[in-house]
Structure 1
Amino acid sequence: MDSSQPRIVLVPGDLSGVGPELMVRLLADPANRVRARLLVTATAAELDSFARTAAATIPDRDDIELLGTTYTGPEIPVGEVSVAAGRRALADLATALDRCAGGEADGVLFLPLNKGAMGQAGMREEDELRWFAKRLEFEGFTSELNFIESLVTARVTSHVPVSEIADGISAGRVLETIELLNRAVSQTRTSIPRLAVCALNPHAGEGGKFGREEIDDIAPAIELARSRGIDVEGPFPCDTLFSRAVGGDYDGVVTMYHDQGQIAMKLLGFDQGVTVHGGLPVPIATPAHGTAHNIVGTGAADLGPSSNAFDLAVRMADQRRSTTGIDSISKSEVPAK
């Protein structure tokens, strides 16, 4: 193996879904295996089983390091949410993070997870990103970044009830999200990103008629980001912004909450989407789709998002080996409200 290559831990995700077969299809492609040194949280027998499900063949495994798994529970039922699947996913993710924290790996690619299963298995955080941060003892700002071919998004709030979104909007969080997105786009797409920021309220609040978040928090954060040299505009009504962005006006968009960005991104590029867990000290990527229980073993799972996620994980991990990558950003000096 080439010691200069980035070392990527591949995690099959929730074993009840399509993750294992997608992972095998990635491993079966020789072009992927020459780009990185691959470590896999599975046993040899499991890899054989995954390959049978995927109707795929891995021609030579000598360059794949099988880490096995620390999971010792019951067999995981296929095609359904279960405590066992959640426990296995958390165990494998912990192994991957520990390898990176210990200097034995440079990045992680995990296949689709099920938050319900992980919650049943004991995950108390709102999502895996916050679980990752806790496991890594990282207390800085984090945000999920979503990539399609034409656009990158980051969000100020994520997996919270709609009733709590407004409380999560502050000048500090908006600024940190802009800075993180600017770093991500500049290191993966273009050196001088053009960014836009969504409003929270309809019609960008209509001068305070429909809410003051645009006046009190979002616009001040944009102005401060501009004073720091970031090319960013807004806040713009979300219902028109994405058509401008995908038309080429912007390289990245900051959204205020999960569905404000994700509905647009999945309509624009469901077969391309990648999620990156931005802000963490470890590069972590995953395809931006779910476990797809209804198509396990049918061969219908689209490999495109997983291939894109692999590509991004390798690039970020390679960058991490030589410099500070998009997984690191300074905390904003703007106080939260």
Structure 2
Amino acid sequence: MTAHDAPLAVTMGDPSGIGPEIIAKMYLRRPEKRHWIVVGDPLVMTHALGALNADVLVRPIASVNEAVFEDGTLNVLCSSQFSVLPPVSQVSAISGRAAFDAIALAIRLAREGRVGGIVTAPIHKEALAAAGLPYPGHTEILADHGGAAKVAMMLANEDIRTVLVTIHCSLAEAIQKGDFAAQMDAIRLAHAGAQALGIANPRVAVAGLNPHAGEGGLFGDEEIRIIRPAIEAARAEGIDVSGPWPGDTVFMQARKGRFDIVVAQYHDQGLIPVKYTGLDQGVNVTLGLPFVRTSPDHGTAFDIAGSGVADPSSLETAFDYALRLKAGIRHIGFKDIGLPFDALAGLGRQIREGGASTYLEVVSLDRDSEIRSVKAAIELGVDYLLGGSHAQDVLPLLEGTAIRYYPFPGRVVGHPSILEGSEAEIVQSAVALASHPGVAGLDLLAYRSIGNVPSLMEAVCGAV
């Protein structure tokens, strides 16, 4: 079983809080998304489902392999086995220990590749302390047990993504901890985290620590001494990062689309804007781990635990984020120019070993160069061949291969490429190419055309 095929693990959270309830509600509300297991306590989950009058069988399992994914069955991998339910809506040492044990087991399963990632329901910091566990939150547990040298917390909703330089510590301690190395770690992890979400070249903004980002040293010099040098060093590594920006406006700029992700200096600087703009859709993602971990952006809500009114929306969003991150980058392409054949072969092999599909785009414009590239694609064993303008010569070469062929319709000239011709001419070319049995689709360079792009796309799609 690969990580792509393995089920997600949802930890039950603190059993005295709303975690079991929102897990039960997520199961009931989304029958199309039930390829996951709970890591927790069978009695707790049975009670949570019973409180919702749900006709669901809790299936205790000792290993992931025992899971049966069928309607009406919730698989619970036992990390604890209560004989009596723990108290509801209050701090409890036994609940703190049970919450930790579920997380620890899920981490081990994820590191072994037995689950495809972890979605964690909320835990209570005081309950952990009452159980004698020296962790202020999930991130610190994951850092200790997750097998990563550096981790960071990323909070995200539909409008904002932010990564924190410091996490669960006093403000005075955060100022001391936010040194050059911490800034670099956060910037690098923000860049990688945004890429994992599908942003190829993320624009990273770094918030300042002081009012107005220090106002040139008038309100503190951390921006000058620490933050700006880290930004310059990260730029030298090829990261598109800017700042330091004033903390009171940088999130507004990100929400308007100027930045893809913001590095915040301390906990509340980053979490207040994320939670204010959408608590029910907020997600916490731990960056730097060798596996996927997400969680809802809210706590145990002891004030409403056991009342049946808890909203599972943030947990569902966290689950969907985990699915997205678990899937990873599944489609990777490269062009037929710029690397020698041996390097291309090695690149293609690495892509396939990573479980992704390979694409080769032919941007050579003369016939002989295109034929050489097609032969290289066949030898490389790519999955998709894109581009090229000599389909009549390429199709016989591809006969008997599994390569899916998507040639350019119209007249493509120059570098960078320009799609020439009238809309009618391009449509005619597209129809002719699509009629060949060896053509799987078309590589329409509409955005490189000199005409009306939306109209061209509509016309070609309508014709073929």
Q: Same fold (TM over 0.5)?
A: yes
Could you tell me which amino acid in structure 2 is paired with residue 293 of structure 1? F
Q: Which runs of 5+ in 1 are unaligned?
A: 325-337
- Counterparts of 1:323 and 1:269 in 2: how far apart (Å)? 35
Rate the CA distance shift 1:50–1:100 in 2: closer, same or farther, 3 A.
Answer: same
Q: What secondary structure does 2:122 align onto?
A: coil
- Tell which deviates more after alignment, 38-47 or 83-92: 38-47
Secondary structure at the counterpart of residue 125 of structure 1: coil
Match of 1:238, SS state, is coil
On the 8 A contact 1:22/1:306 being kept in 2, the answer is: yes
Match of 1:144, as an amino acid? Answer: M
> What SS does the aligned partner of 1:248 have?
coil
State the match for 2:47 in structure 1. 49
Match for residue 328 of structure 2 among 316, 319, 324: 319
Q: Distance between the aligned counterparts of 2:281 and 2:321, measured in 1?
A: 12
Amino acid at match of 1:302: D
User: For the residues of structure 2 that align with 1:3 and 1:279, how far apart are their CA atoms?
Assistant: 17
Q: 1:234: Cα distance to partner? A: 0.6
| Aligned-pair CA distance for 1:297 | 3.2
2:41 and 2:81 map into 1 onto residues whose CA distance is 11
Aligned to 1:304: 313
User: Shift of the alpha carbon at 1:218?
Assistant: 0.5
1:170 pairs, out of 151, 176, 179, with 179
Q: CA contact under 8 A between 1:25 and 1:56: conserved in structure 2?
A: no
2:222 matches 1:224 = no
State how many pairs are aligned: 320
> Once the 2 structures are TM-superposed, how far is the Cα of residue 316 of structure 1 from its aligned partner?
2.1
CA distance in 1, matches of 2:58, 2:82: 28
Matched residues in 1 for 2:322 and 2:288: separation? 14
More displaced stretch, 255-264 vs 170-179: 170-179
Q: Does 1:289 align with 2:313?
A: no
Structure 1 residue 74: deviation in Å? 6.2
- Residue 112 (str. 1) matches residue 112 (str. 2): no
Instruction: Work out whether 1:148 is the aligned partner of 2:165.
Output: no
Aligned mates of 1:82, 1:56 — CA distance in 2 = 27
After superposition, give the CA deviation of every residue in 1:228-265 in whole Å (9 maximum; x if it has no partner).
22221110111111111111111110000000011111
Name the structure 2 match of 1:31: 32
> Any runs of at least 4 consecutive aligned residues in structure 1 with deviations exceeding 6 A, and if so which?
none
Instruction: Give the corresponding residue for 1:101.
Output: 111
Work out the CA distance in 1 between the residues paired with 2:312 and 2:52.
11
Is the 2:5–2:116 contact (alpha carbons within 8 Å) kept by the matching residues of 1? no
Sequence identity, in percent?
A: 35
Equivalent in the alignment of 1:78: 88
Superposition TM-score, scaled by structure 2 size: 0.65
The structure-2 alpha-carbon separation of the partners of 1:323 and 1:294, relative to structure 1 and needing over 3 Å to count, comes to: farther
Task: Give the C-alpha shift of residue 143 in structure 1.
Answer: 0.8
Q: Rate the CA distance shift 1:15–1:230 in 2: closer, same or farther, 3 A.
A: same
Q: Give the alignment partner of residue 136 of structure 1, picking from 143, 146, 150.
A: 146
TM-aligned CA distance change 1:119 to 1:43, over 3 Å = closer
SS of equivalent residue, structure 1 residue 96: helix
Whether the 8 Å contact between 2:139 and 2:286 is mirrored in structure 1 is yes
- Separation in 2, partners of 1:264, 1:4: 33
Cα distance in structure 1, aligned partners of 2:144 and 2:166: 18
SS for the counterpart of 2:22 is helix
* Partner secondary structure for residue 112 of structure 1: coil
1:262 aligned residue: 271
Alignment RMSD: 2.5
Letter in 2 for 1:50: A
Offset of residue 318 of structure 1:
3.1
Indicate the SS of the match to 2:228.
helix
**Residue in 1 that maps onto 2:414:** none
Of 175, 190, 202, the residue aligned with 2:199 is: 190
Whether the aligned pair in 2 keeps the contact of 1:198 and 1:235 (CA below 8 Å) is yes
Greater relative contact order (CA < 8 Å, ≥ 6 in sequence)? 1
How do 1:226-245 and structure 2 match up within 5 A?
A: 226-245=235-254
1:49 maps to a residue whose letter is H
Residue 30 of structure 2 is aligned to residue 20 of structure 1: no
Is the Cα–Cα contact under 8 Å of residues 41 and 80 in structure 2 kept in the other structure? no
Q: 1:12 to 1:60 in 2, by over 3 A?
A: closer
Displacement after TM superposition at 1:214 (Å): 0.3
Is 1:7–1:317's contact at 8 Å kept on the other side of the alignment? no
TM-score where L is the length of structure 1: 0.88
The letter for the 1-side match of 2:50 is: R
Q: Does the residue aligned with 2:328 lie in a helix, a strand or coil?
A: helix
Deviation, 1:50, is 1.1
What CA distance in whole angstroms lies between the structure 2 residues aligned with 1:102 and 1:122? 27
Distance 1:214 1:285, change over 3 A: same
Q: Relative to 1, partners in 2 of residues 1:297 and 1:323: Cα closer, same or farther, differing over 3 Å?
A: farther
Alignment partner of 1:88 is 2:98: yes
User: What is residue 121 of structure 1 aligned with on the other side?
Assistant: 131
Q: How far 1:301 moved relative to its partner?
A: 1.7
User: Which of these residues, 212, 225, 241, is aligned with residue 221 of structure 2?
Assistant: 212
* 8 A contact 2:195–2:202 mirrored in 1: yes
1:30-74: per-residue Cα shift (whole Å, max 9, x none)? 1211xxx32222455443211122344448974153212235586
Q: Which consecutive residues of structure 2, in runs of 5 or more, have no partner in the other structure?
A: 60-67, 331-352, 356-464
| 2:5 paired residue number | 5
Structure 1 CA distance, aligned partners of 2:273 and 2:4? Answer: 38
Separation in 1, partners of 2:3, 2:231: 43
CA distance in 2, matches of 1:4, 1:228: 31
The CA deviation at 1:213 is: 0.9
